[in-house]
């Protein structure tokens, strides 16, 4: 799936005990960096990617030849200014852009497929923590991420309370809701129902469950947009035709758009990784790790939090972001919060939303001046 030559990899020698009980060691973490680490090593920002992201945050992704997933936010003079900050991002374990995942081989040289251990958000951040040692960074200036990236942000500061000065969870939740799990299950069912999935052994059989994965992506993509955004962009516009064709081709532009989103996704993403990563999101419940008291997850940190949500995000709505704010306020933590007005749905954090980008930039730059 990936072109190895463009992928930087750290082999983690230390063993890591996973939540499922299994232990992994000598496993790869694929990462990328932007900007440069200063001599005091106090300008590093660890960025966490979302479900289908990867370590190629900005600029041209050398594997897909497309813009990095957070190109609007990260780069020279942008909100996360790489002239100033050293940005690190790594592919999550379970992923398919070079980090240890289901497309890797086990000790007997068989491709893992569904024999890969089920991983959690906790496992992901514990694996990524090794990057701090690798770069000799004692304390990060910031950790940031949206959606599943935000879940990793929350888990990271809970696990390593003194390892970041500032903490920026965006459009996220501390616990996957029934609705979130339902949409993920729909995606997984689409993949496993594809006869080319072959119980996860599709690579061995030289097939790929492209249809199932495309449907999973199409369903998920709808959840990333808002009703208003969809209506304004597509409405009932027809796709390259004057009138309805009384058939099941893509009559409407929205159908054609979703089909396209599904087809390009299949080219860059591994179906088994999709199963594993959505499972990790579903298992995420930070409060549960602290006997139902979310505040306790943050009791040991002095970090400065800045939480951002979007008005039209119905996947991780404002209230779920506010619940994190409330948990932090109840222990007197330093927390700021803003809900950004946007019609672009959950995807707002990835798009050109000026109020969001300026809030992010101002928070980072002002916090950096004060450090």
Partner 1 sequence: MKNEFQVIADLIEKDKKVLDVGCADGTLMKFLKDNKNINIRGLEISKQKVQECIAKGLTVIEGNAEKDLKQFPDKSFDYVVLSQTLQAFLNPELVLDELLRVGKKAIVTIPNFGYWKVRFHLLLKGTMPITKTLPDEWYNTPNLHMCTIKDFFHFVKSKDIKIFKSLALNNLNSSTINESNLGVKNLFADLGIFLIEK
> Under the rule (CB under 8 A), what is the footprint of partner 1?
304, 306, 325-326, 329-332, 334-341, 355, 358-359, 362-363, 366-367, 369-370
Least distance (Å) between residue 324 CB and partner 1 = 11
Q: Is 139 exposed, middle or buried (0-12, 13-18, 19+ CB in 10 A)?
A: middle
Least distance (Å) between residue 83 CB and partner 1 = 19
Least distance (Å) between residue 285 CB and partner 1 = 21
Query: Tokens 């929350």 sit at which residue?
Result: 154
Cβ proximity to partner 1: between 31 and 368 the closer is 368
Residue spans of beta strands (DSSP E) within 147-283: 164-170
- Residue in 81, 226, 273, 346 annotated catalytic: 346
Residue 19 designated active-site = no
Cβ proximity to partner 1: between 15 and 358 the closer is 358
Cβ proximity to partner 1: between 264 and 338 the closer is 338
Chain centre distance of CA 150 = 7
Cβ proximity to partner 1: between 57 and 333 the closer is 333
As separate numbers, helices (DSSP H) first and strands (DSSP E) second, the chain gives: 10, 12
Distance, CA of 317 to CA of 308 (rounded, Å): 11
Least distance (Å) between residue 363 CB and partner 1 = 6
- Residue in 71, 99, 142, 147 annotated catalytic: 147
Other residues' Cβ atoms within 10 Å of the Cβ of residue 331: 15
Least distance (Å) between residue 77 CB and partner 1 = 16
Residue 15 designated active-site = no
Q: Which helix (H) or strand (E) holds 321?
A: helix 318-329
Residue 313 designated active-site = yes
Q: Which residues of 26-39 are buried (b: 16+ CB within 10 A; e: fewer)?
A: ebbbbbbbbbebee
Cβ proximity to partner 1: between 18 and 326 the closer is 326
- Residue in 313, 343, 347, 348 annotated catalytic: 313
| Helix, strand, or coil (residue 136) | coil
Q: Supply 149's token pair.
A: 């990236």
Interaxial angle between packed helices 178-193 and 210-224, expressed in degrees from 0 to 180 and rounded to the nearest 10:
160
Instruction: Please list the active-site residues.
Output: 147, 313, 346
């Amino acid at each position: 799936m990936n072109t190895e030559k463009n992928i930087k990899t750290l082999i983690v020698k230390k063993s890591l005990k996973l939540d499922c009980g299994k232990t992994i060691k000598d496993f790869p973490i694929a990462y990328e960096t932007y900007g440069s680490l200063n001599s005091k090593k106090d300008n590093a920002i660890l960025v966490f990617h979302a479900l289908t992201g990867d370590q190629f945050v900005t600029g041209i992704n050398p594997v897909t030849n497309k813009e990095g997933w957070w190109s609007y936010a990260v780069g020279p003079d942008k909100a996360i200014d790489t002239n100033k900050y050293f940005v690190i991002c790594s592919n999550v374990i379970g992923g398919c852009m070079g980090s240890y995942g289901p497309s890797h081989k086990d000790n007997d040289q068989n491709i893992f497929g569904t024999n890969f251990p089920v991983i959690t958000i906790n496992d992901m951040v514990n694996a990524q923590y090794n990057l701090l040692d690798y770069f000799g960074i004692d304390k990060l200036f910031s950790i940031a991420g949206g959606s599943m990236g935000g879940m990793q942000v929350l888990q990271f500061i809970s696990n390593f309370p003194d390892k970041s000065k500032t903490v920026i969870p965006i459009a996220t939740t501390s616990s996957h809701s029934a609705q979130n799990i339902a949409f993920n299950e729909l995606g997984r069912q689409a993949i496993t129902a594809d006869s080319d999935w072959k119980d996860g052994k599709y690579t061995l059989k030289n097939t790929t469950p492209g249809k199932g994965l495309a449907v999973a992506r199409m369903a998920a993509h709808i959840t990333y947009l808002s009703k208003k955004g969809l209506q304004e962009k597509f409405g009932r516009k027809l796709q390259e035709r004057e009138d309805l064709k009384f058939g099941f081709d893509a009559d409407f532009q929205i159908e054609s758009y979703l089909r396209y989103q599904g087809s390009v996704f299949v080219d860059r993403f591994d179906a088994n990784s999709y199963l594993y990563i959505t499972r990790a999101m579903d298992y995420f419940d930070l409060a549960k790790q602290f006997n139902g008291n979310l505040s306790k997850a943050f009791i040991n940190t002095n970090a400065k939090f800045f939480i951002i949500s979007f008005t039209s995000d119905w996947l991780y709505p404002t209230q779920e972001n506010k619940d994190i704010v409330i948990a932090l306020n109840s222990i007197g933590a330093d927390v700021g919060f803003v809900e950004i007005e946007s019609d672009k749905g959950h995807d707002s954090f990835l798009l050109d939303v000026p109020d969001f980008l300026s809030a992010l930039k101002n928070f980072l730059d002002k916090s950096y001046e004060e450090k």
